[in-house]
Chains A and B, each alone.
Chain A
Amino acid sequence: MKRYYLIITLLLIAATAAQAQINLNLALNSRPQPWLSEWGNPVNGIMIITYTTGAAGGDPNIKIRTTLLNESGNVIGLSNINAARPYVLRPGVNQFTMADALQLQNLNLSGSIKNQMQRSGRLASGQYQLMVELTNNTGDVVRAKQTRPFFMTAYQLPVLMQPANGAELDAHVAQSVITFRWTSLVPSTQERPVYRVQVFEIMPGQQPMQAFRGNRPLLDEQAPQGSTQYIWRTNLPMLDSTANKQFIWTVQTLDIDGQPIPTNDMNVQGRSEPAIFNIVNQMGTINNAVKKKD
């Protein structure tokens, strides 16, 4: 029996040596970046094609056929093999990015998925599979194939709740304490995010966004981890007429490593849409009113 095994093994080795061999290794991050256009970044993984030339030589020309499947295994996107870029493999290891494997510019997506991609550049949150086939130049012979599952999710930044945009706070309370509240990061994460509360004074003559973009924050503190409330003990004089009259605030959402959560804002800073609040000296107003009246 051992003799037969040996013969079969030798025959297989001979066949392999005579023919060229292509091995495909799709090392896809199981939670890649939500924007498919960013899959060229190494963090999303790498595609390695190993090409071994045989004694009888071989065809180094390949094309990539990409199929995107949903959780149920239904095809939601398929690349056009005729428009696929032809590659000539070098003997040995050939490295490609995940963007090369995905071929976004050559991917025909089905109706609603196409609409979603056009509108947001992202897939709906959920489980997907990426199938990559290496074919000959005409696309009718599959020379290697691999499928990898991945989970797609993006995040939505918190919305500021309190003080609401345009709110007026009593100076007598605000010069000692101001309570900030906001909604949570969506979806919730296993590791609780870090929320940094940042408050900027809008100086006389400044536009709110000028203060936000140009000033140093009076408060830049981390809320208790995971909590969406922060109590600021201000200790600022607010009854004086020249200072601390108007503020703009935001929450910066950071991951456990202190990096801004990658969300769908243009600024990639993890900062929520800021809100403005005003400090009103009720007593000063009353005092002046009484004097004027009399």
Chain B
Amino acid sequence: MKKPVSLLFLLFGFVTPLLAQQSPKVTVSGDVGVSYEYYGLDKMPETSIPNFYPARKPWNLFRYTFDPIISVGGWSIPFNFNFTSPPANFTTPSLGGLGNIGKQSFWQFLTNPANSFGIRPKIGTTEILLGTQYLKYSDLSTGDLGIFGYGVNLSPGKFRIKFFNGTSQSPVNYVAPVLPNPGIVGAYQRNQWMGQLGMEKEGKYFVGFNFVHSGDVQNSVSSPPLPPILPQENMVISFLATATTSTGWNYHIELGQSFHTRDLTTPLSVSPVEDLKPFLTSHTSTDKDNAVMLGIDKKGKDWELGAKMNYHGAGYYTAGYPFMNNDRIEYLGNTRFNAWKKKINVVASIGERYGNLSHTAGPNTTSQLIANINAFTQFTERFSLNMNFNNFGFNSPGILGYKSVSNELSINPVYTWSNTKMSQLISGTYTWSKYNETTTSGTTSNNTQTALLMYVPTWFTSKWSPDLSVMWFKDITTLTTLNLLNATAGVSWKASKKFSLKGQLQYNLSTTSPFTADKNLLGTLSFDWKIYQKLSWQFALTGNLYHYGSDLPGSSLFPVYIGNPQYFESTMRTGLQYRF
């Protein structure tokens, strides 16, 4: 508990004298809010094996946001507090989360990845960072994770100096599963520091080095997590340079090298990788690898052209992007241009990605083609057409080879017409998608078609705005055919400048051959009420009634249920927001 108390002390100790200081004028902008979400699920039958529809949200969830920016004299102090109660962590372990085991300590609450408590006071060229910060230094160093700690950004003249130290994962003890309790997988505390040294002329160039270190604290837990969760250590050094010329050319280059120890309990060893003093001492499980990002593009008045190349070695890891894919190289070319008196706008890209370059995952390199083109044409003031085509192909050759090809074409014409009283819009979208997968056991095909028709009449003097849509979706696979029909009607009523009401009703029929249809009615009612000039209240109520067809007969459940199962899902979301 020493750490959080001292950090809070720092936080408030820093802010209070600032507010009390000389500045005669204090201004506050930003907002603060609280929201609550209730989730209900009633099923018939209530309990069964298997559980035919599990709850998909927490029953009750409070969420608090506190994002004001306080300006005092030359200081600007933005706050970014948002946190949730109770914890609902899924991909990261947490006490009091799923399974509801134990209770979070204050330190665990502060450092829970679901929560954010950050302030960034700034004066002149100095910015102080306290609490939770999502800092992006570069694509190869750090940028994904929230880290709770302290740091500073200095930008005297052309120099850029950044430093931050904190915790990206709080320690959680391992708790063995005892049915029905799922237990907790546990986690080591992960400390992380990062720094940047560089030079910058805004809008012209940046050149500098990034340093990111993360290390798991082995003794942070009394009951350590079980393998394969192991204490790790990581160090990344990257060189980043970007430049923009007066003729519109943009250049981007980043070179990174990572040192990564998969398991700090393995023996110390300078083989296969030597120590990186003073940052990291090597173990037998330490890897060292490189990554490169190159990019060039040019922007014209009505056009844009770019190319980029990314390479991530098989042993390139950074704690700043823990889910980053490595062992790959990819090229991408993209363009955007206007034509025909600016009535046509085209955006296109084509690229190829090669994976398993190290051949550690099978003897062959995999390849993936990604191509996309979108063309929008405004034929007349009334009529426009949008067309989109994309292709994804993936090939993993070999004895147990795999190949998939996805082609998707979408056409969306929109027609509007109006008179003095009203405007009307009709929009249609048709999407055709084909997805083939080839394995040693043959080829399976997925053919999907979607058609959507929307009609929106708008009366200029009316407070009512209705909309109607119908949708048809069909997916034909080698084994089954899914048909989905959907009709939606919505209306919004703007009673005054302060109050607006929306309602929507949607009816779905989905049929998986040869079974009878599942039926589903979804209703939503919401309002937005500006109670005072700065205070608003949002409220939304949703009911979702779902009745299964013969694809889930009651006789397939235990205990046997007579008839077909159904459920009613209700959600109530409400929030108060105050804008300063």
A119 touches B287 (CB 8 A): yes
A219 touches B401 (CB 8 A): no
A177-B473 in contact given A172-B452, A207-B134, A286-B425 (Cβ < 8 Å): yes
B454 touches A283 (CB 8 A): yes
A102 (CB) vs chain B CBs: closest residue: B284
A256 interface contact, C-beta 8 A: no
A216 touches B57 (CB 8 A): yes
B200 interface contact, C-beta 8 A: no
B524 interface contact, C-beta 8 A: yes
- B-contacting 9-mer, from A3-11, A32-40, A58-66: A32-40
B456 interface contact, C-beta 8 A: yes
Cβ-closest 7 pairs across A and B? A214-B114, A187-B362, A37-B285, A105-B269, A213-B113, A188-B400, A120-B314
Q: For the complex, what is the distance from the CA of A177 to the CA of B326, rounded to whole Å?
A: 31
A145 interface contact, C-beta 8 A: no
A125 touches B92 (CB 8 A): no
- A-contacting 9-mer, from B152-160, B298-306, B500-508: B500-508
A235 touches B544 (CB 8 A): yes
A125 touches B322 (CB 8 A): no
Question: Which residues of B are in contact with A by a Cβ distance under 8 Å?
Answer: 56-58, 63, 65, 67, 82, 84, 87-92, 98, 112-116, 134, 144-146, 227-230, 232, 234, 260, 262-263, 266-267, 269, 271-273, 283-289, 313-315, 317, 319, 322-327, 353, 355-356, 358-364, 366, 368, 370, 390, 392, 394, 396, 398, 400-402, 404, 406, 408, 414, 416, 418, 423, 425, 427, 429, 433, 435, 437, 439-440, 444, 446, 448, 450, 452, 454, 456, 458, 460, 465, 467, 469, 471, 473, 475, 482, 484, 486, 488, 490, 492, 502, 504, 506, 508, 510, 520, 522, 524, 526, 528, 538, 540, 542, 544, 546, 569, 573, 575
- B-contacting 9-mer, from A13-21, A49-57, A265-273: A265-273
Other than the given A235-B569, A237-B524, A287-B465, 9 more pairs (CB < 8 A) read: A34-B360, A41-B227, A116-B360, A121-B262, A156-B361, A282-B454, A287-B456, A290-B456, A290-B458
A40 (CB) vs chain B CBs: closest residue: B266
Note all chain B residues with C-beta closer than 8 A to A237: 504, 522, 524, 540, 542
A126 interface contact, C-beta 8 A: yes
B63 (CB) vs chain A CBs: closest residue: A203
A190 (CB) vs chain B CBs: closest residue: B400
Q: For the complex, what is the distance from the CA of A184 to the CA of B362, rounded to whole Å?
A: 13
Note all chain A residues with C-beta closer than 8 A to B370: 164
User: Can you list 23 contacts pairing A with B, beta carbon distance less than 8 Å?
Assistant: A35-B262, A35-B285, A37-B284, A41-B227, A120-B289, A120-B314, A122-B358, A122-B360, A156-B361, A159-B325, A161-B392, A162-B392, A162-B406, A164-B370, A172-B488, A184-B394, A204-B65, A210-B146, A216-B58, A228-B404, A231-B475, A241-B528, A273-B323
Note all chain A residues with C-beta closer than 8 A to B398: 187-188
Note all chain A residues with C-beta closer than 8 A to B317: 266
B263 touches A216 (CB 8 A): no
Q: For the complex, what is the distance from the CA of A30 to the CA of B262, rounded to whole Å?
A: 23
Q: For the complex, what is the distance from the CA of A294 to the CA of B458, rounded to whole Å?
A: 10
Contact with B along A146-173 (1 / 0, CB 8 A): 0000001111110101101000001011
Which listed residue, A155, A172, A242, A264, touches B326 by the CB 8 Å rule?
A264
A118 interface contact, C-beta 8 A: yes
A235 touches B508 (CB 8 A): yes
Q: For the complex, what is the distance from the CA of A186 to the CA of B415, rounded to whole Å?
A: 47
A210-B353 in contact given A162-B406, A187-B362, A274-B323 (Cβ < 8 Å): no
A265 touches B323 (CB 8 A): yes
- B-contacting 9-mer, from A87-95, A106-114, A130-138: A106-114
Q: For the complex, what is the distance from the CA of A121 to the CA of B91, rounded to whole Å?
A: 26
Q: For the complex, what is the distance from the CA of A283 to the CA of B565, rounded to whole Å?
A: 34
A125-B486 in contact given A104-B269, A214-B92 (Cβ < 8 Å): no
Q: For the complex, what is the distance from the CA of A23 to the CA of B409, rounded to whole Å?
A: 68
Min Cβ gap B271→A in Å is 5
For chain A, residues 242 to 294, give those with C-beta under 8 angstroms from any C-beta of chain B. 242-243, 250, 260, 262, 264-269, 271-274, 282-283, 286-287, 290-291, 294
A143 interface contact, C-beta 8 A: no
B528 touches A239 (CB 8 A): no
A119-B315 in contact given A170-B429, A176-B484, A183-B368 (Cβ < 8 Å): yes
Note all chain A residues with C-beta closer than 8 A to B144: 209
Min Cβ gap A225→B in Å is 12
B573 touches A243 (CB 8 A): yes
Which listed residue, B364, B427, B506, touches A176 by the CB 8 Å rule?
B506
A161-B394 in contact given A156-B356, A227-B437 (Cβ < 8 Å): yes
A117 interface contact, C-beta 8 A: yes
Q: For the complex, what is the distance from the CA of A283 to the CA of B471, rounded to whole Å?
A: 14
Q: For the complex, what is the distance from the CA of A268 to the CA of B112, rounded to whole Å?
A: 20
Q: For the complex, what is the distance from the CA of A287 to the CA of B469, rounded to whole Å?
A: 14
B526 touches A172 (CB 8 A): no
Min Cβ gap B12→A in Å is 22
